[in-house]
């Protein structure tokens, strides 16, 4: 189950100093004057500064030029050149310790935007003990391509992001893929058959909203979709309105958020558009292509390119029923929650233009 319980030292050489420091004796008064010729060794050029080290290795994504990486193909049949690893941890965020580290690679634009948004939340919200940490899940493999458990995440432009969570008393709870009901509440069940380790949790709406708002306000990346269950979408919109968010950010969030076939009630799936540079390198965007994205690309002398007809069969993913069977014995509370989950698991038809 996805919610079950990561100087070079300078040397100064003194030449021609006093006698005690090895100076050359002065010539006698009657000796002819001889011009002293000193051949100086040219100073070596300074070494370039070492690249900043980040947890888990790899370059600091905030220091990289966008040309460092290139997304090729579509999210479902693509690849990645120059994949950038998300640091394993940083101010206010971490890559989930439940996944292998190689699954955290994306384009410069995506990875840097995730880091900026998470650090923004960390800097602008009260500190707490324990700290509120955003947990990021799968992004992609170092060269893109197939990644187990996903039909997409193949071109470095997709990322799974857990919701900020709290315990019932309001203290932060570590980010996990915990399904949330229409009240924004869920349970970290631990051992599914043992109710004694159950921990009730709820979504931290102010921080989760602040994160997505920071992403949408970042003009270095263009968010194409945020896949999230409908009731969490509604709660986040209400939080944005309560926070008196920029109306343009609220409208953009409303347009890019949809509930897909899998409900995404335990995390958000964030996808970004191809850049103009990536399009020139073979990047393909699937629908929807928003008018503002077409206008932006046009101003850069580019246009979106749809992917060719799919060449490979869609991967078979684990169904809810298969996951339940694989999980083994469950406590009655777990079974009751999963039965309730059916009520919101089917994608709604909200009548919004950009949602299928």
Classify domain 61-306+316-345 at the CATH class level. Answer: alpha beta
Residue with the two structure tokens 């939080």 = 239
Those residues with Cβ within 8 angstroms of residue 216's Cβ, 6 or more apart along the chain or in another chain:
223, 249, 252, 253, 256
pLDDT computed for residue 40 by the predictor: 53
Task: Cis check for the bond before 288: say yes or no (omega within 30 of 0).
Answer: yes
Query: Measured between alpha carbons, how far is 354 from 260 in angstroms, rounded to an integer?
Result: 12
What helix, strand, coil percent values describe the chain, rounded to 5? Answer: 30, 15, 55
Compute the residue count for the chain: 356
pLDDT computed for residue 16 by the predictor: 34
- Token pair belonging to 110: 């995506």
Compute CA distances 306 → 1, 35, 352, whole Å: 34, 77, 22
Q: Which of 116, 124, 130 is nearest to 165 (CA)?
A: 130
Are 259 and 228 contacting, i.e. CB atoms less than 8 angstroms apart? yes
pLDDT computed for residue 42 by the predictor: 59
| Half-sphere exposure in the Cβ direction for 41 (13 Å, CA) | 4
Produce one character per residue of 206-233: b if its CB has 16 or more CB atoms within 10 Å, e if not: bbbbbbbbbbbebeebbbbbbbbbbbbb
pLDDT computed for residue 15 by the predictor: 27
Are 104 and 86 contacting, i.e. CB atoms less than 8 angstroms apart? yes
Strands (E) located in 83-216: 84-85, 89-90, 93-95, 105-106, 134-136, 158-161, 165-167, 172-173, 185-188, 199-203
Query: Measured between alpha carbons, how far is 75 from 73 in angstroms, rounded to an integer?
Result: 7
pLDDT computed for residue 314 by the predictor: 77
- What's 198's DSSP letter? -
| Half-sphere exposure in the Cβ direction for 162 (13 Å, CA) | 26
DSSP string spanning 54-96?
A: -TTSS--GGG--GGG-EEEE-SSSEEEESPEEPPSEETTEEE-
Task: Cis check for the bond before 255: say yes or no (omega within 30 of 0).
Answer: no
User: Domain coordinates of the chain in residue numbers?
Assistant: 61-306+316-345
pLDDT computed for residue 11 by the predictor: 31
Reduce the DSSP state of residue 232 to 3 states and report it: helix
pLDDT computed for residue 51 by the predictor: 54
Reading the chain (356 residues) residue by residue, the pLDDT tens digits are: 433 333 323 332 232 333 333 333 444 444 444 444 444 555 666 665 655 568 998 999 999 999 999 999 999 999 999 999 999 999 999 999 999 999 999 999 999 999 999 999 999 999 999 999 999 999 999 999 999 999 999 999 999 999 999 999 999 999 999 999 999 999 999 999 999 999 999 999 999 999 999 999 999 999 999 999 999 999 999 999 999 999 999 999 999 999 998 899 999 999 999 999 999 999 999 999 999 999 999 999 999 999 998 777 777 777 777 888 888 899 999 999 999 999 999 888 888 989 97
Are 158 and 270 contacting, i.e. CB atoms less than 8 angstroms apart? yes
pLDDT computed for residue 239 by the predictor: 98
């Amino acid at each position: 189950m996805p919610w079950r319980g990561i100087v070079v030292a300078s040397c100064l050489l003194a030449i021609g100093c006093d006698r005690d420091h090895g100076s050359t004796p002065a010539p006698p008064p009657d000796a002819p004057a001889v011009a002293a010729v000193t051949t100086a060794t040219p100073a070596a050029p300074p070494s370039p500064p070492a690249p900043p080290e980040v947890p888990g290795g790899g370059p600091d994504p905030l220091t990289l030029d966008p040309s460092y990486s290139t997304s090729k193909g579509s999210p479902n049949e693509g690849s990645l050149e120059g994949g950038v690893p998300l640091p394993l941890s940083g101010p206010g965020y971490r890559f989930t310790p439940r996944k292998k580290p190689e699954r955290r690679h994306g384009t410069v634009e995506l990875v840097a935007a995730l880091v900026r948004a998470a650090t923004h939340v960390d800097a602008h919200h009260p500190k707490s003990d324990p700290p509120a940490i955003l947990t990021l899940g799968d992004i992609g493999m170092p060269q893109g391509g197939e990644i187990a458990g996903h039909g997409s995440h193949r071109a470095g432009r997709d990322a799974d992001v857990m919701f900020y969570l709290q315990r019932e008393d309001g203290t932060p709870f570590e980010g996990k893929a915990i399904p949330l009901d229409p009240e924004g509440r869920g349970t970290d069940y631990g051992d599914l058959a043992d109710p004694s380790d159950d921990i009730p949790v709820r979504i931290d709406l102010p921080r989760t909203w602040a994160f997505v708002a920071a992403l949408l306000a970042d003009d270095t990346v263009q968010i194409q979709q945020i896949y999230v269950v409908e009731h969490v979408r509604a709660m986040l919109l209400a939080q944005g309105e309560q926070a008196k968010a920029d109306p343009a950010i609220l409208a953009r969030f409303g347009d890019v958020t949809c509930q897909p076939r899998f409900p995404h009630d335990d995390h958000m799936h964030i996808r970004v558009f191809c850049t103009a540079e990536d399009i020139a390198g073979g990047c393909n965007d699937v629908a929807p292509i928003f008018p503002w994205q077409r206008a932006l690309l046009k101003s850069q002398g580019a246009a979106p390119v749809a992917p060719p007809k799919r060449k490979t069969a869609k991967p078979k993913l684990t169904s809810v029923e298969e996951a339940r069977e694989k999980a083994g014995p469950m406590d009655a509370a777990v079974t009751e929650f999963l039965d309730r989950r059916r009520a919101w698991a089917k994608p709604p038809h909200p009548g919004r233009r950009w949602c299928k």
